[in-house]
Structure 1
């Protein structure tokens, strides 16, 4: 199984992704590592990415997902996955990709971004991400409220996945 922690910047995708990978004893792969230098530069300057900017990034993540699946491995990825078409690219034609939508209020997201240090994402882009976001419904993703503690979020996710024990293979 492939799990993708998704949501706008500041939702805690990396933290929750890392905690899930620890819980499942599998690899954690940060989707931001697939961004080109040009994409990171744009975001650090407060310039929103276009669909054209995002396509090679999404394709690179999908390739990594396919590699994990071909090896029979489970992994936890992070990727904002803001639009349904982005999630469709990441999901591919298989049913072995589970999205975890980390959802929070604008105020909480702003507060978290203001506290961040050393990240390429310009906090002024939060509103553009929210404007772009096509929220998944319960048929497409497990929805977790980021106002909960990280431990509570992981417990909620693992219960909904029906995976309360270590199941990942490396």
Structure 2
């Protein structure tokens, strides 16, 4: 690792907004779970168009076309509504209505260390990952998401990174190969 400082300590606080931004990013952008509902909608609307073309030639074509249109639009609306509802409920269960100390992430020469809130003075509670173990890092306009596995990420809100997100991104760039670094534009 090159540069002036070879480590960075980031105390992280999370609230509902930060958690919801991450959930939307993770599910809809990184995992691209919007694609199946969109495909479903397109297929159902195509069947609806076929039905509407048959109006006047086939009995019940307009009714079936209407039902297919309602289903094509309704099911994805329910899917996304349930997703956002579940994210809000999970944030509520986690007590994130206000900023809450979550953990401290330390980016070091050897890797990443996470110390849970309330136990940051106890080195034995630290969870460590080498740079080779890191799954990937995504930088969005408001945060850096450091995935230690495909299912587990540390949220690093830009406003909470001492010395700025650019410094953290530079440090990560010095420690990880380019294929593990991703920049997301909104």
TM range (shorter): under 0.3
How high is the TM-score relative to the length of structure 1? 0.27
